[in-house]
Amino acid sequence: MKILLTYSSKTGNTEKVAEAIKDIIPEDFHFCKVQDAPSPEEFDVILIGFWVDRAMPDRDALEYMQKIKGKKVGIFATLGAYPDSPHGRESMQNARDIVKENEIIGDFICQGKIDEKLVEMFKSLPDNHPHAITEEKLKRYEIASRHPNEEDFERAKHIFKLAFKSLAVEV
Ligand SMILES: Cc1cc2nc3c(=O)[nH]c(=O)nc-3n(C[C@H](O)[C@H](O)[C@H](O)COP(=O)(O)O)c2cc1C
């Protein structure tokens, strides 16, 4: 079974989740950034990670995901919103839809620290702007700044460990 673990990460959050998932892959695998990933055709199982941009996988991950057909696919992601919010659920559903011509063997999503530059930009917006900062958003950014954490890594590992078990691979 040929396995690819690949990810896209602008500020390092999704990369940390990818690094954690490495621990539980039961066989040899190819590990790289999605920008360097070989054709999906070369693999049987593909675990792909992305950061959320407007409720979608970021562009680099999206382009790769659109090429994956007929494989066993695991998806993992980080985002600034709460994973169990409507936006969080929509983001994962959108990702699942993009790879729907595959067997999805597991998915994982958690918060990830939002780029300080983006937060500063939000703070500079006028009050009537849709992205203007509010107390609620500041609280969410503060919570996001503590993710991904050890608990997130353990949950991601657990989900994909089960996924590989379901493929009847010795873990
Ligand atoms: C340009 C940009 C757009 C973003 N858009 C969203 C978004 O639509 N929804 C969201 O929940 N988080 C959004 N975020 C937050 C990132 O998804 C989050 O911080 C993620 O953990 C970044 O992952 P990375 O460190 O692997 O790049 C955005 C961040 C940036 C920089």
Kindly report, residue by residue over 123-157, the tens digit of the pLDDT: 999 999 988 999 999 999 999 999 999 999 999 99
DSSP class of residue 22 equals H
Which value, to the nearest 10 degrees, does the dihedral of the CA atoms of residues 166, 89, 56, 66 take? 30
Q: 26 C-alpha to center of ligand 1: Å? A: 30
DSSP class of residue 27 equals S
Judgement on whether residues 152 and 141 belong to the same structural domain of the protein: no
Q: 23 C-alpha to center of ligand 1: Å? A: 25
Judgement on whether residues 57 and 95 belong to the same structural domain of the protein: yes
The DSSP H or E segment spanning 63 is: helix 59-65
Q: What does the pLDDT read at residue 149? A: 98
Tell me, yes or no, whether 84 lies in a domain. Answer: yes
Judgement on whether residues 96 and 122 belong to the same structural domain of the protein: no
The DSSP H or E segment spanning 166 is: helix 150-166
- Do residues 133 and 125 lie in contact, with contact meaning Cβ atoms separated by under 8 Å? yes
Q: Which residues of 155-171 are buried (b: 16+ CB within 10 A; e: fewer)?
A: bbbebbbebbeebeeee
Judgement on whether residues 103 and 19 belong to the same structural domain of the protein: yes
Can you name the residues that pair with 30 across neighbouring β-strands? Answer: 4
Burial bucket for residue 26 (CB in 10 Å: 0-12, 13-18, 19+): middle
Judgement on whether residues 9 and 21 belong to the same structural domain of the protein: yes
pLDDT band at 113 (very low <50, low <70, confident <90, very high): very high
Q: What does the pLDDT read at residue 70? A: 98
| Mean pLDDT for the chain overall | 96
Tell me, yes or no, whether 11 lies in a domain. Answer: yes
Tell me, yes or no, whether 24 lies in a domain. Answer: yes
SS3 string of 84-120?
CCHHHHHHHHHHHHHCCCCEEEEEEEEECCCCHHHHH
CATH number at residue 158: 3.40.50.360
Judgement on whether residues 52 and 118 belong to the same structural domain of the protein: no
Q: 1 C-alpha to center of ligand 1: Å? A: 33
Q: State mean pLDDT over 7-20.
A: 98
Judgement on whether residues 80 and 129 belong to the same structural domain of the protein: no
| Ligand 1 atom nearest to CA at 144 | 19
Q: 169 C-alpha to center of ligand 1: Å? A: 34
Tell me, yes or no, whether 171 lies in a domain. Answer: no
| Ligand 1 atom nearest to CA at 53 | 5
| Ligand 1 pocket check for 17: Cβ under 6 Å | no
Burial bucket for residue 52 (CB in 10 Å: 0-12, 13-18, 19+): buried
Domain count, the chain: 2
Protein residue with its CA nearest to atom 19 in ligand 1: 114
Judgement on whether residues 95 and 123 belong to the same structural domain of the protein: no
Judgement on whether residues 87 and 140 belong to the same structural domain of the protein: no
| Ligand 1 pocket check for 54: Cβ under 6 Å | yes
Judgement on whether residues 42 and 124 belong to the same structural domain of the protein: no
| Ligand 1 atom nearest to CA at 9 | 26
Protein residue with its CA nearest to atom 8 in ligand 1: 54
pLDDT band at 170 (very low <50, low <70, confident <90, very high): very low
**Please, what is the Cα angle at 88 between 87 and 93, to 5 degrees?**
95
Judgement on whether residues 57 and 133 belong to the same structural domain of the protein: no
Judgement on whether residues 141 and 155 belong to the same structural domain of the protein: no
Domain that holds residue 42: 3-112+148-166
Q: What does the pLDDT read at residue 31? A: 98
| Ligand 1 pocket check for 81: Cβ under 6 Å | yes
Tell me, yes or no, whether 102 lies in a domain. Answer: yes
Q: State mean pLDDT over 50-65.
A: 98
Can you name the residues that pair with 127 across neighbouring β-strands? Answer: none
DSSP class of residue 134 equals -
pLDDT band at 171 (very low <50, low <70, confident <90, very high): very low
